[in-house]
Structure formats: C-alpha cells, structure tokens
Structure 1
C-alpha cells in the first residue's frame, strides 16, 4: 500500500508556521507529524501533496501515479484506533472525524487529480477521538499530552544511557537519555511527566528541566536554563532563560534570559538578549489573534498565548512582545515599546516604522546564519522565500 500525506484546508489556518512548510513538517512532541505517521504505519510515507511552491523541497515526485493508496490529511495525528481502521479500509472507503475526512482509500491517484474529488464512498468509518492540528496554538495546547504518548511509544523496550557528573534526578524511570549528553549539577524532574534527551545535548550548570520535555540532538542549554513542562526544543537549538509549554523548531535560538511561554518559534529564529513574551493579558481576558484569511484580529477561546513566529524571524535586544503576537517569516523586530500584535513577513523595525527588508538582505542574513550551522542556504530555500516575498499581507 502507498501512503500519501496531503495538506487540507488547515494549511492556510496554520500560518505563519506553514508559510514555509507542509503541515506534515510541523513538530510537536518528539516528532514531526510525518515522522509520527511513519512510526505508526511502520513504513516511509511515499509522497507528500502540498502547495506547488513547496513541492520541490518537500515532495518526492514532481508528477506521480500511485496504485492502492491511502490518502491521509496531515493535520491529524495517528493513534492506535485510527491505525487499526486505516489498515482495514477497502477501496473507496473513508474515515471521518466530526464530519471531516481524515483518510480515503483509493485504487489510484494521478498527479493533477484533486485529492478530495471522490464524492461518494462505499463505506465510512467514524473515529471518536483524535488530535486535530487546525491552528498554530493547537501545537502547544496538545504538546504535553503528545509528549507523554510519544515517550511511551518510542522508548518501549529501549535502554536509556546514564548521565555523568553530579546531577539531581527525580523519576529516573521516566527519563530517557541518548548517548554523549554533557551535564553537571543539573536537575531533571520527571515527577510530572517524562523527559527525553537526544544525543549530543549539552546542559550547562544550574539548569532545571521539569517534564514532560523533549530536547533534540546537539542542542545546548545555557547556564541556569529553566525548562518547564509541555516544552519541545528541537535539534541544533541554543536556549536559555525560562521556557514554558512552548515548541521551538530546529536551528532556532533563545540563548539569553527572558520568558517564552505558550509560544512557537519556527526554524532559524533568534530572540535577542532580554527578549520577553507576555502570555497573559493584564485583565485576564481571552485573547484576539490575527487571522490571515480575514485580515483582522478574531477572538479565540484562549487566555494563555505568547508569540507565534514564522521561520527566519529575529528580535533585537530587550524586545517586548505583547500577548498573542503573530510574527511572519523573515522579520527583523527592534525598537522601543511593544511592536504590533501582527508583524507581517519581512518587516523591519517595530512600532516606529513599517519598512520591508530588501530581499537580497533576507537572503544574505539567512545564508550567514545557516552557514554557521554548516547548512547551505539552497536554491529551493531561496525560491520559497522569494515566492512569499512577492505576496502581500503575510
């Protein structure tokens, strides 16, 4: 059987995180959505159907023809019940959750075919419980429960390494460590949730990690870092200060002191020293957030939300982000006062200016930052940013 993940209507609702990636490349818990599906399915995903400007980087084939396929909406996370139903599907059968399609079994799929063109189904199945990632804040809302489940799923039957040095460990049986982790005089507290630390991580003195938490490979935690539950810090990151219930994608930095809570940082982001994020209004009211489709702020049923930042965006020293701030791709935020709660992509400055960074400068900065991590700023990366740069109001 061929397994294909596709972007549904959720792709636009997940801006700015999905401006530069398919839904399947969103990370929460221990894995990206694609990685999680592959682990539950027991095989690699054969293809990802996404937006044309993202396809060259993230899709395996320019044009495709598959037989005996299972089309899966990337915004749903797999669980045991769902996997059991999917493997029992026959041709022209589908799985629904709250009147929305999760997956369709088809005999064949052509390159230009609409993945939802099948109008009538021989049989439909309904699943009662599944995690659906529809909006960016769904990532950190679900991260704690997903972390716990991923930990049980991925560590079963595996043996953890031990830490060297003098450290204070609580709940050792709920801590899984890969090799070559450097620690000394740190606290790992898994009393309230598991902790998973990948290989090559360096945790400097005085740091405290309170699970559930995932730290990706070759990430560095600076002296005195305070990492609270519900937090995922992906691979090759550098972090410090206080982080609570947040997801940081790979190659991003929050090196210095300052608070980051109920937030998401995309890849290649950098928060300058003293950057702080408010995650709660002074009047404790529920928040409004920027909606890309309506081009306006809309109310949502949340009180706690910090910043949601797209790839390649940066904040300068002592930047202060207000509650429920949305930052697009490639922004450079600096200046006095609180910047706007919606900062369009490629913005330059803060409340005192609304300039746009020249595209060649965007590329120069990206190339310099990526080269520091021995990663090439590829032609495909440049074309994705160039496509977005030509759009308005993103």
Structure 2
C-alpha cells in the first residue's frame, strides 16, 4: 500500500514558518512531524510519497529519500502532514475519509479510484469528497497554528527521548557538572560540559545531541532538547519545553520555545512560548512578551486580514527564516514576523509584519529587496560553513512574490534602490 503525506491549505495558518518548508518538516520534540508520523508506519517505509507545493518540490527532492508528488495508481493511504501523531494509524478499510472542522485528516482510496485521482496543488476536503468516500468526523490532534506545536513540545521531548532508549547514557565527561535525575539525561558524543553546569531532569528529560557545548554556570531544566553542534552560553537559563535545533548559539533566558536550527540568540534577553525558523539572529537584549498585562487570552494576527484568538494565556512570537533584530528589540505577545525581515528601533515592533520588510520604528517600514536579503543570507550561511543552494534561492524569491499582496495591504513602501 502506498502512503502519501500531504500538504493541505491549512499550511497558510502556519506562515511564516511554512513559506520555506512543508508543515510536516516543523519539529516538535526530537523529531519533525513527518518523522513522528512515520514512526507509526514501520512496515511501509519503502512506499512513502511526499506531497508539497510546487515551489518547494525541487528543494525537497534534493534529500532524495522519498518520491515527491509522484503518486502511483494503486491503493493509497493519505495522511495530513499537520497531524500531531501520538498513536498508530488504522489503515484498514476501503475508500474512507476522516475529517474535522473542514480539514481532511486521513483518507484511503483503492486502486480503481486512484486511477481517476488528480493530485492538487494543495489538498482540501473537496479533493476527497469528489470521490464520494464514506466520511467520518474525527478529533485527531493537528497543528492549526504555531502555538499548537509548542503546547505539546515538552510532552514530545519526553516521549521521543524515552523512545530513543538512550536516556541514562552519558558518552561525554560530566565532571564538575551537577546532574539531577541523571537516568533521565542523555549526553551525546563529543559534548563539552563546562564546570558549574546544572542539568535538572527531575521534571522532564534532557537530551543533548553530539558535539553540543554548554558553557559554565548554564542551567538547563527539562524537558529540553539541545541539537547537534549547538552552543549554550555562560549562565544561560533554559527552561522546560524548550527545543533547540542544530548549530544554534543560545544565551539569556529561554522557556517553552522552539528554535528550528542555525539561530543566533546568544545574548541576554527573554524568549518565551515562541517558535523561530532557521537562520534567525536576535540582537543583544531582544525580548519578547508571552503574557498580556490583563492576563486575557493572546490574540495573534496571522495575516493582513486575519486575527485569531489563541484562547491561551501564554503565547510569544513566531519568527520566520532569516529574520534579524537589532539590539534591545521588543516584541509583544502574539507577534508574527515574516521571513527576511530586518527590525529594530525603540518601542514595541508591529505585531504583524509580512516577509521582506525593513522596519525602523522611527520611520515607516519599507520593503527589504530580495537581492539584498538573499546576499546577506549567503554571507550568514557561509560563516557557518553552509552554501545557499539554487533550489533554496528559488524558494526565497518565490516567498517575495507570494507575500507581495500582504505588503501592499499593509502599505509597505518600496525601498529606494541604490544607483550603484
């Protein structure tokens, strides 16, 4: 049986993170949503097909692991890539559809139906209802917004660390390190732990991947994941529910937040209940709020025309790839900052900025031209030993085009081009 992990139109609610990747490549715990889905499908690993938007296809194909947008005319089980998979899927049955609140969750089509199936740019309920499937309502958990992923991060870190079978293994020296509940801690190979480090796993697992380095007097309170080659700075305070991807530099205070990877937040400042894309650089003293002064639920503007009540008391910010903040930048609870933005200046930043915006709080925001933004990205990536691929650059230029309407709606001015 063929398995298709698909993108549906709900990816738009996870922007700006999903401008540059399918929703199923977002991470919760030690693994991406895709990896969590595949855990429950061990017997069909050779029959996985990934579906994604057209602009992401060349880049996703570079991994070479699974076919992309190439469905065969055979029995197929469809899984929404935004599912927060916590239990095995029931793949038995014939020609059925599971949905919830106008979202397709799971579906199964036989070979005869698949011969008539047309692969859409993105899936929705109409994709499946066109084939008159037996439809059942379900309440499987799904990532509708970034805070849905953050809400389960601590639980997922614990579950993934336990599933790894590695807890209690310490492959690197932990001399002069204070460990609490050491059997709930994994320390990978070639990890550097400086004197005075505190690893407190009494409230949740701590998983430290290979070649990470933790400088003196840093305090880490689980559940926490620290990715490969990540540096935790001196006296950093990392609290439960925090998920730090590979090759990051992190200091200051971080709580219940996810950094996908290659982020620089090495200076003092608070980051709480927030989700950061890749290659984000937070300037010294950058702070975000994750709680309103009146303790009311946080509202988040997810596009120029949509504001969502999170129904949560604690929601921080969501920051897209390649965002730069200046020193002392302040972000209000529920802020959404688009990819390739450069923001700085006194006072709180706007709560919503689409991609490719240059915002100095003392003057009206202007467009951040893609040539300038992409050149900066190349420099930043080269400093970490990475090269921007042509496929990634095409995606970034497509983000510029796809977000043009948002910038126009917010009356973002066109930047003055250099005469050089």
Query: Which residue in 2 is equivalent to 1:155?
Result: 165
Alignment of 1:16-35 (within 5 A): 16-35=16-35
Corresponding residue of 1:142: 152
Matched, 1:197 2:208: yes
Query: Corresponding residue for 2:36?
Result: 36
SS of the residue corresponding to residue 336 of structure 2 reads strand
Decide whether the 8 Å contact of 1:314 with 1:332 is kept in 2. yes
Q: TM-score, normalised by structure 2?
A: 0.86
Checking the alignment, whether the CA contact within 8 Å between 1:340 and 1:350 is kept in structure 2 is no
Q: Of residues 346, 361, 365 in structure 1, which corresponds to 2:356?
A: 346
| Change in CA separation of 1:61 and 1:323 when aligned onto 2, cut-off 3 Å | closer
Give how far 1:273 is off. Answer: 0.7
Q: Find 2:329's aligned residue among 310, 314, 319.
A: 319
Q: Which whole-Å deviations, capped at 9, do the CAs of 1:303-357 have from their partners, x for residues lacking one?
A: 2111110111110111111121110010000112211111221111232231111
CA deviation vs aligned residue, 1:185-240 (integer Å, no higher than 9, x gap): 20000111111111110001100100000111111101111100001001111111
TM-score by length of 1: 0.91
Name the structure 2 match of 1:257. Answer: 268
**C-alpha displacement at 1:162, in angstroms?**
4.8
CA distance in 1, matches of 2:221, 2:186: 13
The aligned counterpart of 1:47 is 49
Q: 1:159 to 1:90 in 2, by over 3 A?
A: farther
CA separation of 1:125 and 1:160: change in aligned 2, threshold 3 A: farther
1:95-144, Cα deviation, whole Å (9 max, x unpaired):
4557753222223457843455333666666666x431111111211211
* Stretches of structure 2 lacking an aligned partner (at least 5 in a row): 62-66, 408-420
Q: What is the count of residue pairs matched by the alignment?
A: 388
Distance 1:44 1:271 in 2: 41
Aligned to 1:386: 397
**Which residue among 226, 246, 257 is the counterpart of 1:235?**
246
1:158 Cα deviation from its structure 2 partner? 8.6
Q: For residue 60 of structure 2, what is the aligned residue in structure 1?
A: 58
Q: Return the offset for 1:48.
A: 1.8
After TM superposition, give the deviation of residue 284 of structure 1 in Å.
2.0
Greater CA drift, 307-316 or 118-127: 118-127
CA 1:277–1:40: 2 relative to 1, 3 Å: same
State yes or no: 1:90 paired with 2:101.
no
The equivalent residue for 2:416 is none
Structure 1, unmatched stretches of 5+, are none
For residues 320 and 248 of structure 1, the distance between their equivalents in structure 2, rounded to whole angstroms, comes to 18
- Within a 5 Å distance, the mapping from 1:279-318 to structure 2 comes to 279-292=290-303, 295-318=305-328
- Residue aligned with 2:160, SS: helix
C-alpha separation in 2, matches of 1:44 and 1:267: 29
SS for the counterpart of 2:175 is coil
RMSD: 2.3
Q: Post-superposition, which runs of at least 4 consecutive aligned residues in structure 1 deviate over 6 A?
A: none
